[in-house]
Structure 1
Amino acid sequence: MNFEFVTANRIIVKTNGLSDLEHLIQPYGERVLLVARRNAQATKDAQSYLENAQKSVEVIYVKGEPTLEQLSENVDFARAGNFDVVVGIGGGSVIDMGKMIAALITNTKPIMDYLEVIGQAMPLTKQPKPYIAIPTTSGTGAEVTKNGVVSSAKHKVKVSLRSPMMFADIVIIDASLTLSLPRHVTASTGMDALTQNIEPYVSNQANPITDAFAKAGIQHIGRSLKRAYDEPTNLKAREAMALGSLMGGLALANAKLGAVHGFAAVLGGMYDINHGVVCALLLPHVMRANVDALQASDDQHPILKRYQEVAVLLTNNQNASIEDGIDFVFDLVKHCQIPSLASFNIPAADDAIIIEKAKNSSSMKGNPIMLTEVQLQSILENARKC
């Protein structure tokens, strides 16, 4: 046995807990950089609480998923601003942007030097500025991970800035902030959260602590995503989804992901397609491909037992089979009206490039079995048919 488990310094789970920001911010100096979505009520409320605390607040507004160009511009602004602390409030893109800004204020080499895959992956050498993360979606778990994801238009791929120094100092999980989410955002972020529990549980880097979080997360999401989608103001469902998302973040930060995220990083970098949608569309097909490959390799492979346990957790049926689990995910994708992969017009001619890039992604290294190019091709082909 050989593993470690690390996470954010402090995690506060409190419905209607955003107001606590007013006193939580007190020890962190006078100048606050707020990273948020423009016109969001949560942004306005957070800014109000910070100003009530007599802090000087400036705001960076994030639009869409982080790009290298946006990150560079925001880091230049932040470095010039003499800020004491960064607060990120929003979905995963906002949380990641804030996390990366906090790290790069103090680590001043060119950004490319720190990036994985397309850069040098150099380690951070200086402690980032303090960071408070407040998610407003139940999806990425980014509030408790040690990396931020950014896309490069030049390289047509999403990559990570990663360091154990990048864990947030304080995380506030306030499920009430998710009550106003549109259904399509509930669906895509919820499917991302489910993927980020299932992949660490079957990962080749899973450990007993990540297992505990992932199993609970799968159960929370399996029993609550449909309800949150059908009844957006159902607070109990939103609270369960918030917990499920958090647990996925705790799991993935300490175990690796897998082929779903290996593909997602590439597809999201090459095409205008939402990360959670990609995860939803690929998850059941990757589950099927992994199970087939594992069975062909060793029909008693221990990961097959884990896939059967995933089915039990999703369906709440102790007799559920692996097939039942895969069917459950297919049904969930259909119920949440996730658009088809074919609707994004991703040309089959690009498959070879997609597969080559996916094979080299960080996430693919956590897949429970190495998939061949033929198996990876079949995942894309099967996803296009649905």
Structure 2
Amino acid sequence: MAAKWPLCYVTAMIFPFSFASTPHIQFGAGMRIKLADIAQVYGSRILLVTGGRSFDESVMCDELWRQLQSGFELRRVRVSGEPSPQLVDDTVAEHRSWNPDAVVAIGGGSVVDAAKAIAGLLPSGDSVMEYLEGVGRGKAFKGPSTPFIALPTTAGTGGETSKNAVLSIVGADGYKKSFRDESLVARHIILDPELTLSCPKKVTASCGMDAFTQLLESYVSSNASPMTDALALSGLEQIRDSLLTAVENGENIDARAGMLYASSISGLTLANAGLGSVHGLASPLGAFFPMPHGEVCGSLLFHAVRINIEAMHKRDPNNRALFRYAEVGRLLCNSSNISDNQARDALLSILEEWTVKLAMPRLSDYGVEEGDFSRIIANISSGSMATNPIKLEESEIMELLRSRL
């Protein structure tokens, strides 16, 4: 049995912070049976957003499809790969006159993000380009949003608990940008680990490393609070106990439940505390190269943490994130009787070991070359880098990229 661990480290003084609202969450094996009752509250017309083959080949998803067909007017939208602004706009244009009473997402992070944006724009019919950060027209989103219900089938992005929908154009002039507003948050989330049992080993590994990265980055974030600390550490404990087992034995429902919890919690912590250098680089890497987001995170995490620790030792040895990295090291190796330096070394050893064990790809596997570094850095996500525990110099970011080439 895993050792008990304190939920968070809180200093004597709690500084002011804010925490965004959370949706109604139903967690547990078999909870998917509640979908029809929940959806019925909103009306009879359901726009269902799903993946493609993964949904069609799932016995449990087929059961949900039949259940919805028997009680609702139902239309389905399929999402393959990263959702684009064009997909969102085309879906809104096609179904707005039908006036769905609710949008239901059953799928992974891409499905959830697409559905979230579609639900937000159905009432107005606006293009998402009116609101997309950094590349849109800068219009302030006023809402309302069509009621949105999410049932994730992967454990990675935690997008079901956050207010932002990430949309992408992949290619030389690509981008990954967010459409975000509090009104986009799901009204109901059903976290049923049985829906993740059929998730392939490779996807389980990369999604799991995404959740791991989000929890760790939000815990050491310069914007972390006692609430996000408590949530992040509870999620990291589940990562410790569940990730490797979920990858190696996908039928283990306890491990699947642990990862689904950790993933969903990571969506709450990233939304309220922010992220760090891994996600700062994941945005341009995922935009310019066809590299799945979780694989970017899994590839960069070890070296990002190493470089952060080295930079703080050199320039900011009293940075609280050094202590926090040590706390995570103790948690992951289940040992409270080691020094801070030993704990940080243990953290780095675990991250390096898991990078290899989970077969995280190198950046060059997706066509990244050293000549691309300047363009990647020029398009780094300033929002994520703003809450990295220390401001990294360009040479350190170059080292991070080079270390995974």
Specify the TM-score bucket, using the shorter chain as the normaliser.
over 0.9
1:202 touches 1:306 (CA, 8 Å); kept in 2? Answer: yes
2:121 touches 2:127 (CA, 8 Å); kept in 1? Answer: no
1:36 touches 1:43 (CA, 8 Å); kept in 2? Answer: no
- Residue among 146, 160, 175 paired with 1:143: 160
Report the equivalent of 1:101: 118
Give the TM-score, by structure 1 length: 0.96
Report the equivalent of 1:326: 348
The residue type paired with residue 377 of structure 1 is: M
2:29 aligned with 1:15, yes or no?
yes
Report the equivalent of 1:342: 364
Report the equivalent of 1:212: 230
Deviation, structure 1 residue 9 = 2.6
Report the equivalent of 1:373: 394
The percentage of aligned residue pairs carrying the same residue is 37
Which sits farther off after the overlay, 195-204 or 76-85? Answer: 76-85
Q: Which runs of 5 or more structure 1 residues have no equivalent in the other structure?
A: none
1:204 touches 1:368 (CA, 8 Å); kept in 2? Answer: yes
Give runs of aligned pairs for residues 242-253 of structure 1, distance below 5 A. Answer: 242-253=260-271
Report the equivalent of 1:197: 215
2:26 touches 2:189 (CA, 8 Å); kept in 1? Answer: yes
The residue type paired with residue 376 of structure 2 is: I
1:308 touches 1:322 (CA, 8 Å); kept in 2? Answer: yes
> RMSD value over aligned CA atoms?
1.4
Query: CA, structure 1 residues 85+167, in 2 after alignment: closer, same or farther (shift >3 Å)?
Result: same
Give runs of aligned pairs for residues 1-386 of structure 1, distance below 5 A. Answer: 1-39=15-53, 40=55, 41=58, 42-52=60-70, 54-153=71-170, 155-318=173-336, 319=338, 320-358=342-380, 360-384=381-405
2:45 touches 2:101 (CA, 8 Å); kept in 1? Answer: yes
* Aligned partner of residue 277 in structure 1, secondary structure: helix
Residue deviations 1:245-273 (CA, integer Å, cap 9, x gap): 11111111111011111111110000011
Deviation, structure 1 residue 153 = 4.4
Deviation, structure 1 residue 307 = 0.8
Deviation, structure 1 residue 362 = 2.3
Deviation, structure 1 residue 110 = 3.2
Give the TM-score, by structure 2 length: 0.91
The residue type paired with residue 153 of structure 2 is: T
1:107 touches 1:125 (CA, 8 Å); kept in 2? Answer: no
Aligned residues: 382
1:78 touches 1:101 (CA, 8 Å); kept in 2? Answer: no
Which sits farther off after the overlay, 95-104 or 34-43? Answer: 34-43
Query: CA, structure 1 residues 292+122, in 2 after alignment: closer, same or farther (shift >3 Å)?
Result: farther
The residue type paired with residue 80 of structure 1 is: S
Q: Which runs of 5 or more structure 2 residues have no equivalent in the other structure?
A: 1-14
The residue type paired with residue 296 of structure 2 is: V
* Aligned partner of residue 73 in structure 1, secondary structure: helix
Q: Distance in 1 between matches of 2:77 and 2:216?
A: 34
